[in-house]
């Protein structure tokens, strides 16, 4: 399903609601408007790499039953190699691993062998240059703009400079790679993120707790990339 999204369409700004913030007592109903966005984002936590726990491949299979939209999986786990195959089999269209995790290169190689798109990400404290060696082999870079593990955190302003650095390096290499940003994103800071070079924004609480979900989706339809 991600074929039409890679390389990123020129000028396209994608909205990715994070199902971590959905209401799991009525998941299908909670995702009604989210399914009108560009794709869905699934956060996987193992209680080791981050303190929190989320869910396993079964939830991804449930989500895939109710949508034909692409779904990307963010592995906030200590040993991503162990998670790649189960989530690929469950229907992940893209799997992102942390540069700080165990054997990220091995994980990305496995992801691509399974014919799934691959992403690399980093914690806010990690310098952007740590992911530069991976730009030759990934389809997406995820810039975490909060500390991974919990939703509802405030956006870390220094993330804007990291986005600019990543965009500059991608442009220097002449690559077509999505820059995804996750953490503290609201309608109020979307424009700054797009100006910095982001073209794919994850929204959790600010989307699912909003009574204006349709308006948020409409806002993204009207956004255009403004890369530096």
Tell me the catalytic residues.
43, 182
How far apart (Å, rounded) are the C-alpha atoms in residues 14 and 139? 14
Decide: helix, strand or coil at residue 157. Answer: coil
Ramachandran region, residue 197 (left: φ > 0; alpha: ψ -120 to 50; beta: rest): left
Q: How far is CA 162 from CA 49, 147, 203, in A?
A: 22, 14, 19
30 neighbors 23 (Cβ within 8 angstroms): yes
Collapsing DSSP states into helix, strand and coil, what is residue 162? helix
Gap between the Cα atoms of 65 and 197, Å rounded: 33
Structure tokens at 206: 């600010």
> What is the three-state SS of 105-153?
HHHHHHHHHCCCEEEEEECCCCCHHHHHHHCCCCCEEEEECCCCCCCCC
């Amino acid at each position: 399903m991600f074929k039409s999204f890679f390389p990123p369409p020129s000028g396209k700004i994608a909205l990715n609601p994070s199902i971590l913030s959905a209401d799991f007592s009525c998941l299908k109903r909670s995702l009604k408007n989210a399914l009108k966005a560009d794709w869905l984002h699934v956060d996987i936590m193992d209680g080791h790499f981050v303190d929190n726990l989320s869910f396993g491949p079964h939830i991804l299979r449930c989500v895939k039953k109710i949508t034909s939209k692409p779904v990307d999986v963010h592995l906030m786990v200590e040993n991503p190699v162990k998670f790649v195959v189960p989530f690929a089999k469950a229907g992940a269209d893209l799997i992102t691993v942390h540069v700080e995790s165990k054997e990220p290169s091995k994980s990305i190689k496995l992801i691509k062998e399974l014919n799934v798109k691959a992403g690399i990400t980093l914690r806010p404290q990690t310098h952007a240059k740590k992911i530069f060696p991976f730009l030759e082999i990934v389809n997406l870079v995820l810039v975490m703009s909060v500390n991974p593990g919990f939703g509802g955190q405030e956006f870390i302003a220094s993330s804007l400079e990291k986005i600019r650095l990543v965009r500059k390096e991608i442009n220097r290499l002449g690559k077509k790679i999505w820059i995804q940003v996750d953490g503290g994103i609201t309608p109020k800071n979307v424009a700054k993120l797009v100006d910095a070079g982001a073209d794919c924004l994850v929204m959790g609480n600010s989307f699912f707790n909003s009574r204006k979900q349709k308006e948020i989706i409409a806002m993204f339809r009207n956004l255009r990339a403004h890369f530096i």
